[in-house]
């Protein structure tokens, strides 16, 4: 399939480095997108931030009918000078954000432009671009929590699956820090006076790992351990950094309870331990309302959608956990994300623009607000 499509605007967007910690670059890329959105009639609400990029909400007029939020992010994982350049061949677009997620944002823009061109104006469809998705959306999730109640449907523009699948489920993820306090003592002269935090950490590591239940999709990874001072001192302190991933709320609660009891009961006498951290992005579980929405999209586009579930998280988790009917994967298919091999399929790109245009045209209330 010849795409015949000009990707030079997307190239401009991708050539601006927008590593999460590069506020200037993230903001510059946001301003470019803002210009395009305002050109088709959107108003911009800017959430100014000091140390990270600003979050941008593009709003349209509202009237009766379903309210849609299109969701993307401005940031990428690539520091300046690491992977900065757009390129293309007949089949692929290459570069930072090709599929995660500038390509997806651009699909939404192309579809909105087509809707604007055919209907004259756009209503009931807003778009949110956050600046900190790649570092966990710790700041923007507070905004997302607030906005969730204003929308019936959330369409997320992360990459499609290999066969253009939409994403109906994503694991939840939590990160925990366990600080273990023992008591230092000379390992030669006062061995029995010490309380070995490292030894307790070893017990806790094994107990935590045993919470894993692969058949339920639940994994616990003690990804980092540190502790102690040196060979001749009983270790007075140790720290574990732990990640959990899970596919449903029952498993989440089982593991949370177990983590608490592991932290607060000790194999070694005299130990004290504290727990910090928590759920970072809650699970996105497939559900009935989502299925109804999916069936509606199939009747709008006149084609069936394949679906899949993923282990990785996105901001879809945040809206889904707040009860919004959420589907992810409206971006183009791509692979190599988070590596210098990131690319997006042009064929998939065109397909998504076509599908999303039909969907947004269906829900658009722009003409009615003008009438
Ligand atoms: Zn990413």
What is the pLDDT at residue 3?
Answer: 54
What is the pLDDT at residue 5?
Answer: 82
pLDDT in tens, 228-275: 999 999 999 999 999 999 999 999 999 999 999 999 999 999 999 999
Contact 57, 13 (CB under 8 A): no
Q: How confident is the model at residue 1 (pLDDT cuts 50, 70, 90)?
A: very low
pLDDT in tens, 121-139: 999 999 999 999 999 999 9
CA 315 / ligand 1 centre spacing (Å): 10
Residue 13 has pLDDT above 70, yes or no: yes
What is the pLDDT at residue 366?
Answer: 77
CA 75 / ligand 1 centre spacing (Å): 8
Query: What percent of the chain lies above the pLDDT cut of 70?
Result: 98
Domain residue ranges in the chain? 8-170+283-370, 172-280
CA 313 / ligand 1 centre spacing (Å): 9
Contact 69, 154 (CB under 8 A): yes
- Distance, C-alpha 193 to centroid of its chain: 48
CA 89 / ligand 1 centre spacing (Å): 23
> Topology of 172-280 in CATH?
Alpha-Beta Plaits (3.30.70)
**175 cis-preceded (ω within 30 degrees of 0):** no
pLDDT in tens, 294-307: 999 999 999 999 99
Q: Which residues pair with 318 in a beta bridge?
A: none
The two tokens of residue 256 are: 């949370």
Cα–Cα distance list, 115 to 4, 208, 308, 348, 367 (Å): 20, 51, 28, 20, 11
In this structure, the strands spanning 153-156 and 325-327 are parallel
CA 134 / ligand 1 centre spacing (Å): 5
Q: What is the mean pLDDT of residues 24-41?
A: 98
pLDDT in tens, 197-232: 999 999 999 999 999 999 999 999 999 999 999 999
Q: Which of 130, 154, 104 is CA-nearest to residue 45?
A: 130
CA 148 / ligand 1 centre spacing (Å): 21
164: left (phi over 0), alpha (psi -120 to 50) or beta: left
Q: What are phi and psi of 279, to 5 degrees?
A: -70, 125
What is the pLDDT at residue 36?
Answer: 98
CA 240 / ligand 1 centre spacing (Å): 25
- The contacts of residue 78 (CB under 8 Å, 6+ apart) are 17, 19, 84, 96, 340
The pTM of the full predicted model, rounded to 2 decimals, is 0.88
Return the higher-pLDDT residue of 84 and 272. 272
CA 336 / ligand 1 centre spacing (Å): 10
Report the C-alpha gap between 305 and 294 in whole angstroms. 8
Residue 371 has pLDDT above 50, yes or no: no
CA 102 / ligand 1 centre spacing (Å): 10
CA 100 / ligand 1 centre spacing (Å): 5
Cα–Cα distance list, 53 to 20, 48, 105, 139, 336 (Å): 7, 8, 16, 11, 24
> Topology of 8-170+283-370 in CATH?
Aminopeptidase (3.40.630)
* DSSP state letter for 74: S
What is the pLDDT at residue 370?
Answer: 45
What is the pLDDT at residue 367?
Answer: 62
Q: What's the chain's average pLDDT? A: 95
Q: What is the mean pLDDT of residues 73-80?
A: 96
Residue 163 has pLDDT above 50, yes or no: yes
Residue 2 has pLDDT above 90, yes or no: no
CA 193 / ligand 1 centre spacing (Å): 49
Q: Which run of H or E residues covers position 143?
A: helix 140-147
Return the higher-pLDDT residue of 370 and 85. 85
CA 107 / ligand 1 centre spacing (Å): 17
CA 314 / ligand 1 centre spacing (Å): 8
Residue 33 has pLDDT above 70, yes or no: yes
Q: Which of 226, 167, 229 is CA-nearest to residue 194?
A: 229
Report the first-to-last Cα separation within the chain, whole angstroms.
40
Report the C-alpha gap between 54 and 65 in whole angstroms. 30
* Side-by-side strand order, sheet with 272-281: 219-227, 237-246, 172-181, 272-281
């Amino acid at each position: 399939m010849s795409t015949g499509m000009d990707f030079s605007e997307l190239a401009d967007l991708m050539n601006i480095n927008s590593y999460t910690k590069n506020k200037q670059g993230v903001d510059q890329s946001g301003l470019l997108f803002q210009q395009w959105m305002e050109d088709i009639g959107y108003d911009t609400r800017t959430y100014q931030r000091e140390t990270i990029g600003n979050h941008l909400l593009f709003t349209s007029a509202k009237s009766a009918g379903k309210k849609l939020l299109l969701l993307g992010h401005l940031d990428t994982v690539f520091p300046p000078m690491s992977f900065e350049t757009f390129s293309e061949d007949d089949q692929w677009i290459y570069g930072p954000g090709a599929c995660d997620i500038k390509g997806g944002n651009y699909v939404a823009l192309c579809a909105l432009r087509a809707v604007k061109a055919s209907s004259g104006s756009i209503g009931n469809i807003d778009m949110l671009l956050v600046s900190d998705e790649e570092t966990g959306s710790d700041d923007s999730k507070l905004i997302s929590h607030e906005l969730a109640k204003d929308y019936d449907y959330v369409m997320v523009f992360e990459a499609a699956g290999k066969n253009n699948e939409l994403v109906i489920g994503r694991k939840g993820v939590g990160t925990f820090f366990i600080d273990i306090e023992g008591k230092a003592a000379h390992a030669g002269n006062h061995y029995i006076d010490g309380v070995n935090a490292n030894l307790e950490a070893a017990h806790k590591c094994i107990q935590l790992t045993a919470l894993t239940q692969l058949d339920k999709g639940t994994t616990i990874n003690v990804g980092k351990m540190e502790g102690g001072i040196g060979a001749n001192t009983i270790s007075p302190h140790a720290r574990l950094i732990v990640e959990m991933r899970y596919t449903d709320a029952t498993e989440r609660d089982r593991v949370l309870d177990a983590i608490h009891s592991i932290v607060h009961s000790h194999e070694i006498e005299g130990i004290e331990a504290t727990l910090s951290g928590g759920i970072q992005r809650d699970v996105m579980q497939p559900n009935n309302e989502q299925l109804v929405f999916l069936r509606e999209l199939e009747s709008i586009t006149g084609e069936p959608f394949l679906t899949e579930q993923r282990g990785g998280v996105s901001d879809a988790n945040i809206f889904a956990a707040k009860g919004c009917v959420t589907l992810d994967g409206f971006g183009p298919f791509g692979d190599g994300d988070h590596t210098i091999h990131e690319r997006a399929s042009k064929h998939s790109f065109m397909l998504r623009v076509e599908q999303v245009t039909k969907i947004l045209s269906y829900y658009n209330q722009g003409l009615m607000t003008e009438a």
